Amino acid sequence: MGRSNIQVAAVDGRDLDPEAGVYHSDTGITTYTLWGEIAYQIGGIDGYQLLRGADENRISPSTSVIDRLIGPEPTLIILDEIARHLRAAKAKTVGQSNLADQVVAFLFSLMDQAASCNNLVFVYSLASESDTFAKETAEIQQELIRASARQERVLSPSTDIEVYNIVRQRLFASISAEAAEKAAEEYLQAFRASRVNLPDGCKDATYARAIANSYPFHPELFNLLTKKIASIPEFQRTRGALRLFARLVRYLWQHQDARMPMIHPHHLPVGLEDEITNDLTSRLQRPLMRLPIGADIYNPNGREAHAQLQDQEWISAGKPPFSTWVGRTIFLHSLTQGISSGIRRTELNLSLLTPGVDISFVDRALERLSGVAW
């Protein structure tokens, strides 16, 4: 039995240009709107001609025109970065409103069409409200929630375990469940045996389960990147974290360290690896944070940073670079502003504590760094 052709349109809001449009060199057609681009991807020149007037005038097409475009064929429409496109579309005047209002109207029509027929699947993604386009995300999310009340399923990869799985599945072909359970047990024993103050709850089975689920990454690294730093508008929770995790894994693979039962926040090579340093400074609109990195953590040129100098003593004694560990962790928790900036001492202990490593180093390293750091 023959298979029907599936019509597919996949649009990334970052690729749309409300003013100059998107030029298709193979046909000479320029699309100016979301619906114009979808029409072109689904039906080529003929499909675009159906919506050409609506595209050039930046006016949302009616559901009847959308129905003619889709026809009887199975159709999949995927939209990403809608909020980003809305920000740009707001600047384009259309009659008494703007293009952003027309985009929202079109999305409503698309949802109505998907609800009234059985051959159209419409998938869209919205970044969390802590991401770069928080205002646009919040506004459109409320509108879409009301418009999509008839949807059968909403996918929200936002829980800790889902984020763990997204990151791990994208980065690793497989992860040993046995190694994860072993790490969880070793860390749990280390927490229970430690005499330093630790946050409530880290010595019970629930936190051990979090370790097994997040392995090979430490749960505090996940919390840092997907919750705390994710509150910075320029950082995207899952996408931003995935980018950093990928670069971190690549770096650690190239610079393997035997003292690494799990990957902690202090393993992020701040100052040492330029892409990661850029992700945590300039990309977050915090270029001035490079100054304390160069002064306190790592300086690739000229005078060594305070942690580099102090680590010479640790390393000569056969120890890890404890001052760098402490400096990196505090720096990462200082990227946010306001009351969330910084890290409590108990949380610092939890982030740094490693099985087989005497946690008492924190006191000395912290005291020495505090005397000279910014």
Residue 120: strand pairing partners: 75
Task: Mark whether 143 and 165 lie in a shared domain.
Answer: no
**302 — pLDDT class (breaks 50, 70, 90):** confident
Examine the domain organization and report whether 63 and 22 are in the same domain. Answer: yes
Q: Write down the pLDDT at residue 1.
A: 37
> Considering only CA atoms, which of 59, 76, 340 is closest in space to residue 224?
340
Considering 113, 147, 181, which residue would you say is the last residue of a domain?
Answer: 147
Has residue 3 got a pLDDT over 60? Answer: no
End-of-domain residue from the set 147, 182, 213: 147
| SS3 category, 239 | helix
Together in a domain, 210 and 135: no
2 domain residue, yes or no: no
Same-domain status, 192 and 234 = yes
CA angle 14, 17, 22 (to 5 degrees): 100
User: What is the count of structural domains for the chain?
Assistant: 2
pLDDT at position 147 is 53
> Same structural domain for residues 140 and 180?
no
Instruction: Say whether both 93 and 233 belong to one domain.
Output: no
Let me know if residue 56 belongs to a domain: yes
Say if residue 175 is in the same domain as residue 94. no
Tell me what pLDDT residue 129 has: 47
Phi, psi of 175 (to 5 degrees): -130, 130
204, part of any domain:
yes
73 within domain boundaries: yes
| pLDDT of 133 | 47
pLDDT of residue 108: 85
Residue 42: both structure tokens together: 């689904």
User: Can you give the residue range of the structural domain that contains 326?
Assistant: 160-370
Overall pTM surpassing 0.75 (yes/no): no
- Is 22 within a domain? yes
* Residue 213 pLDDT exceeds 70: yes
pLDDT band at 153 (very low <50, low <70, confident <90, very high): very low
Residue 155 within any structural domain of the chain: no
Q: Per the domain annotation, does 154 fall within a domain?
A: no
Q: Is residue 153 part of a domain?
A: no
